[in-house]
Chain A
Amino acid sequence: MLAVYKKELKSYFLSPIGYIAIGTFLFVFSLIFYITTISIRSYDMGNLYFNTARYGLLIIIPLISMRMFAEERKTGTEQLLLTSPRSITGIVLGKFFAAVTLVVIILAISLVYYVILCFFKAPNLVPTLIAMFGFLLVAMAAISAGMFVSSITENQIVAAVLTIVLVFLPELTGMFPIINLIDYYQKFPAGLISVTEVVSLLAYMIMFILFTIIVMKRRKSVK
Chain B
Amino acid sequence: MIEVKNVTKKYASITAVNDISFSVEDGEVIGFLGPNGAGKTTTMNMITGFIEPTEGQIIINGYDISKKPKKAKKQIGYMPEGVPLYTELTVKEFVNYMAELKLLKGKEKKENVEKTIEETGLLDVQNKLIRNLSRGYKQRTSLAGALVGNPAIIILDEPTVGLDPKQITEIRNLIKELGKKHTVILSSHILSEVSQICEKVIIINNGKIVAIDTPENLETKTKEKNTLLVTVEDPNGNMQNLKEKIAEIEEIKLLKDNEDNTKQYSITSNNQVDLRKVLFEVLPKEDITIFELKKSEATLEEAFIKLIDSNENEETFTEESKVDKEKEKAEKKAAKEKAKEEKKKLKQENKKGGKE
B interface residue count range (under 10 / 10 to 19 / 20 to 34 / 35 or more): 20 to 34
- Whether A80 pairs with B98 at a CB distance below 8 angstroms is yes
Is A83 touching B86 in the complex (CB atoms < 8 A)?
A: no
Query: Contact between A3 and B100 (Cβ–Cβ < 8 Å)?
Result: yes
Of the listed residues B45, B54, B86, B103, the one surrounded by the most CB atoms of chain A closer than 10 A to its CB is B86
- Interchain CB contact under 8 A, B69 and A76: no
> Chain A interface: which of B73-81, B226-234, B271-279?
B73-81
B97 lies within 8 A of A3 (CB): yes
Instruction: Tell yes or no: B1 within 8 A of A by CB.
Output: no
Q: List A contacts of B85 (CB < 8 A).
A: 75, 77
Would A79 and B84 be within 8 Å (CB), given that A85-B70, A85-B73 are in contact? yes
Q: Are A220's CB and B88's CB within 8 A?
A: no
Known pairs A11-B86, A14-B88; A84 contacts B50 (CB<8 A): no
Residues of B within 8 A of A11 (CB): 86, 88-89
- Known: A3-B97, A79-B80, A80-B80. Is A85-B69 also a contact (CB below 8 A)? yes
A83 close to B78 (CB less than 8 A): yes
Q: Are B80 and A76 in contact (CB under 8 A)?
A: yes
Q: Interface size bucket, A side?
A: 20 to 34
Is A15 in the interface zone, CB < 8 Å from B? Answer: yes
| B70 touching A220, Cβ below 8 Å | no
Interface flag for A41 (CB, 8 Å): no
Residues of A within 8 A of B97 (CB): 3, 7
User: Which residues of A6-20 are within 8 A (CB) of B?
Assistant: 6-7, 10-11, 14-15
Q: A82 an interface residue at 8 Å Cβ cutoff?
A: yes
A79 CA to B74 CA in the complex, in Å?
A: 14
> Could you say which residues of chain A place their CB within 8 Å of the CB of B98?
80, 84
Partner of B101 from A10, A86, A223 at Cβ < 8 Å: A86
| B52 within 8 A of partner (CB) | yes
Q: Would you give the shortest CB distance from B88 to chain A, in whole angstroms?
A: 4
The reply on B145 being an interface residue by CB < 8 A is yes
Interface residues of A in 63-111 (CB under 8 A from B): 75-87
Closest to A86 in B: B101
Minimum CB distance partner of B51 in chain A = A223
| CB contact between A220 and one of B50, B76, B103 (< 8 Å): that residue | B50
Q: Is B56 interfacial (CB-CB < 8 Å)?
A: no
Contact of A14 among B45, B89, B102 (CB under 8 A): B89
Would you give the 0/1 interface string for B60-78, flagging 1 where the beta carbon is closer than 8 Å to chain A? 0000000001110110101
Measured between beta carbons, the chain A residues less than 8 angstroms from B27 are none
Cα distance A87–B70 in the bound complex, in angstroms? 7
Give the distance in Å from the alpha carbon of A127 to the alpha carbon of B69 in the complex: 48
Return the CB mask of B215-249 against A: 1 if under 8 Å, else 0: 00000000000000000000000000000000000
By beta carbon, the residue of chain A nearest B103 is: A85
What residue in chain A is nearest B98 (Cβ atoms)? A80
Give A23-49 as 1s and 0s: 1 = Cβ < 8 Å from B's Cβ atoms.
000000000000000000000000000
Interface pair B88/A83, CB less than 8 Å apart: no
Instruction: List chain A residues, Cβ under 8 A from B102.
Output: 84-85
Contact with A along B81-94 (1 / 0, CB 8 A): 11011111100010
Q: Is B136 interfacial (CB-CB < 8 Å)?
A: no
The answer, yes or no, to whether A196 is at the interface (CB within 8 Å) is: no
- Beyond A7-B97, A87-B70, is A82–B86 a contact (Cβ under 8 Å)? no
Contact residues in B for A14 (Cβ distance below 8 Å): 88-89
Bound together, the chains give a CA A3 to CA B93 distance in angstroms of 12
A173 at interface by CB-CB < 8 Å: no
A4 to B45, CA, bound (A): 22
Query: Per a CB cutoff under 8 Å, which of A4, A6, A82 touches B49?
Result: A82
25 inter-chain pairs at a CB distance below 8 angstroms, sorted by A residue, are: A3-B97, A3-B100, A4-B101, A7-B97, A7-B100, A10-B89, A11-B86, A14-B89, A77-B84, A79-B50, A79-B78, A79-B80, A80-B78, A80-B80, A80-B98, A84-B73, A84-B98, A85-B69, A85-B74, A85-B101, A85-B102, A85-B103, A86-B101, A220-B50, A223-B51
Extra A-B contacts (18), CB below 8 Å, given A75-B84, A79-B84, A83-B76: A3-B100, A7-B86, A76-B84, A77-B85, A77-B86, A79-B45, A79-B50, A80-B78, A80-B145, A85-B73, A85-B103, A87-B70, A220-B49, A220-B50, A220-B52, A221-B51, A221-B54, A223-B51
Q: Which residues of B contact A (CB under 8 A)?
A: 45, 48-52, 54, 69-71, 73-74, 76, 78, 80-82, 84-89, 93, 97-98, 100-103, 145
Pairs of residues from A and B, 9 with the lowest C-beta to C-beta distance, nearest first: A76-B84, A3-B100, A84-B101, A85-B73, A79-B80, A14-B88, A83-B48, A85-B74, A221-B52
